Amino acid sequence: MSEHTGRTAIVTRTEVILLILAIAALGVLLMFGARAHQPFASAEVQFTDASAHGLAIVPASCPSSPDYPGECGQQCTPSTTCVNATTQRNTSATCAVSDTICPAGWSCDSGACVQPPAIGFYSFPATGPNGNFQATGHLQVSPQLIAAGSTTHAYWSVSNVKSCTVTGTNGDSWTGASSGASGKVTGLVNSQTIYTLSCIGLDGSPTPSLNETVTVNIIPTFQEQ
Amino acid sequence: MSEKIQHTRALLFALAVCVVVICAIVLFPGLRVQAQNIEENIVFALHPSASLAFQYGERHFNGQEPSEYDLARAEYFFEQAAARNPNTPYLFHELARIAFLEGDLTRALVLINIQIALHGDSEPNSYYVRGLIEGYMSDYADSAVDYKYFLQFDPEDWAAMNDYAWVLLKANEAQQALSVTQHGVALFPKNPWLLNSYTIALYETGDLLGASKNAVLALAATREVTQAEWLHAYPGNDPQIAAEGVAALQKAAEDNMHMVGLAVATSTVQ
């Protein structure tokens, strides 16, 4: 038993020493790495030279590279294209190419970075307890004036959103971008109730979120005294 | 049972060391470059060949890849290639460029002459490099001959036209520089280097109003130059000086516009 404990202790010490050696080796490598990453700041040509009357001439050196066969003479029409769904490529008049990643949520289409559309509303033919009507897409409750203890219907239809929820102060709650043509039947409404539509727009959208409210009122009742 | 525990512990320890090494390589670019250099050294030691050495040299002599740009390492591999096969295409061309970058113009000229003696017209870019070296040695006449010769192979090379104009302007051959840059600007109407040289040629030949008009176009064009475009125009330059280079190009066009404007104003008053 004691022999086993002794062996374990020796192995643990060895491991610790090995780990320290590994970290030290890594440190040395890191130092060499940092040293290696200090390229000699070089210029193939001076930036400017003076002409006979003192104006600044700027030589270039493009054809010096054997990797650019003919490219320095190539005449490019400046253009922008899409490399993939989110990266735009610009080609300059001297045929230099540079890639730009579109802002978060934007997409690249026909060479341009396109912002996602703003939150929108779809009008739709709705059916309700009081007959058919054309819903606007905005949050609507019909009928909006009801007797205490009865129910009503909520309608909405929103586009270009990540998610939407509709909540009522009476505890009602629904999710989704649309209520459907027949709307959502509310729970019992016993007192004035406020319904709120909350939506989150697409990433990068000009309308990151949206809130709309509709108030349902109770028909007052009168009692003769 | 205890042996099983020992094996598991050894395995976990090896795994931990691997994770530490991988994290360090991912987190530190210097280390990543160093790791790649070690890999290159091992591969080259196992398979030493001129073509592999040249390939590694080219990798470290590319201004478009800032993390890999390393002149000393590029020179080392080009020399290794020269020791194995001096006939490797463009090998002495690249060694000449490096000597030129290091400011050793005499050595650069010797190397580019070896390149031209070995490959001649089959690698015409070397005439351009010799023109560049001679230009910086103030041997404008020979430089102009080399640029003109190179332009026969690549008549629509904007940089060669620009640099041909540079040595002509230095040699007081403004009329000839005007004809070269005029042709260049007709082909590349928005090229900032050519527009700038054309401005100077117009100025030096006495067309102050033309120079003034063109200086505005040159300045506008230089303001559009990106660092990527600048590095494209100077493939051997250290990518770290790209911002400084773009600023120098813009300042040259600005200074020229002011100088030309002043000359126009003075001539009008007189």
Of A165, A91, A175, A159, the C-alpha closest to A119 is A159
What CATH fold (topology level) applies to the domain B171-270?
A: 1.25.40
Residue B14 reports pLDDT greater than 80? no
Instruction: List the domain boundaries for chain A.
Output: 120-218
Pairwise CB contact (< 8 Å): A94 & B191 = yes
Question: What is the crossing angle of helices B158-170 and B174-187, to 10°?
Answer: 160
Residue type, B185: V
Residue type, B82: A
HSE-up of B233 (CA within 13 Å, CB side)? Answer: 31
User: In the predicted model, what is the mean pLDDT of chain B?
Assistant: 90
* Residues near A180 by beta carbon (within 8 Å), at least 6 away in sequence: none
The predicted-structure confidence for A21-49, as pLDDT tens digits, reads as follows 877 776 665 555 444 433 334 455 557 88
Question: What residues pair up with B236 in beta bridges, in sequence order?
Answer: none
Q: Does A1 touch chain B (CB under 8 A)?
A: no
Over residues B40-62, mean pLDDT: 92
Distance of CA A114 to the CA centre of its chain: 12
CB A67 within 8 A of CB A81: no
pTM here? 0.61
Residue A125 dihedral angles phi and psi, to the nearest 5°: -75, 120
Q: Does B134 touch chain A (CB under 8 A)?
A: no
Pairwise CB contact (< 8 Å): B193 & A60 = yes
Task: Using pLDDT thresholds of 50, 70 and 90, give the confidence band for residue A68.
Answer: low
Q: Which residue has the higher pLDDT, A31 or B45?
A: B45
DSSP chain B: -HHHHHHHHHHHHHHHHHHHHHHHHHH-HHHHHHHHHHHHHHHHHHS--HHHHHHHHHHTT-TT-TTT--HHHHHHHHHHHHHH-TTSTTHHHHHHHHHHHTT-HHHHHHHHHHHHHHHGGGSTHHHHHHHHHHHHTT-HHHHHHHHHHHHHHSTT-HHHHHHHHHHHHHTT-HHHHHHHHHHHHHH-TT-HHHHHHHHHHHHHTT-HHHHHHHHHHHHHHHTT--HHHHHHH-TTS-GGGHHHHHHHHHHHHHHHHHHHHHHHHHHHH-
Q: Does A19 touch chain B (CB under 8 A)?
A: yes
Q: Does B129 touch chain A (CB under 8 A)?
A: yes
What pLDDT does A33 receive? 47
CA distance B172 to A50: 12
Pairwise CB contact (< 8 Å): B226 & A54 = no
Tell me the shortest Cα–Cα distance from A79 to chain B, in angstroms. Answer: 14
What pLDDT does A90 receive? 85
What pLDDT does A43 receive? 56
Instruction: Please tell me what DSSP assigns to residue A103.
Output: P
What pLDDT does B182 receive? 96
User: In the predicted model, what is the mean pLDDT of chain A?
Assistant: 83
Instruction: Considering only CA atoms, give the Rg of chain B.
Output: 25
HSE-up of B77 (CA within 13 Å, CB side)? Answer: 24
Optimal mutation site among B157, B223, B254, B260, interface A, most CBs of chain A within 10 A: B157
pLDDT exceeding 70 applies to what percent of chain B? Answer: 94
CA distance B249 to A47: 7
Q: How many CB atoms lie within 10 A of CB B154?
A: 21
CA distance B157 to B184: 8
Tell me the shortest Cα–Cα distance from B258 to chain A, in angstroms. Answer: 10
| Residue recorded with tokens 């109770």 | A218
Q: Does B220 touch chain A (CB under 8 A)?
A: no
- Chain B residues in contact with A36 by the CB 8 A cut-off are 30, 33-34, 37, 70, 73
- Chain A residues in contact with B240 by the CB 8 A cut-off are 39, 41
Q: Which residue has the higher pLDDT, B235 or B152?
A: B152
CATH class of the domain whose range is A120-218: mainly beta
Tell me the shortest Cα–Cα distance from A13 to chain B, in angstroms. Answer: 13
The predicted-structure confidence for B198-240, as pLDDT tens digits, reads as follows 999 999 999 999 999 999 999 999 999 988 888 888 887 778 8
Residue type, B14: A
Pairwise CB contact (< 8 Å): B252 & A56 = yes
Among A11, A41, A70, the residue with its CB nearest the CB of B240 is A41
Token pair in block for residue B97: 């460029």
What pLDDT does A41 receive? 40
Picking from A15-24, B76-85, B239-248, which range would have the lowest pLDDT averaged per residue? A15-24
Task: Using pLDDT thresholds of 50, 70 and 90, give the confidence band for residue B25.
Answer: low
Pairwise CB contact (< 8 Å): A23 & B20 = yes
The predicted-structure confidence for B130-141, as pLDDT tens digits, reads as follows 999 999 999 999
Token pair in block for residue B106: 């005499």
Tell me the shortest Cα–Cα distance from A216 to chain B, in angstroms. Answer: 58
Q: Scanning every residue of chain A, which has its alpha carbon at the shortest distance from the alpha carbon of B173?
A: A52
* Residues near A143 by beta carbon (within 8 Å), at least 6 away in sequence: A128, A129, A130, A152
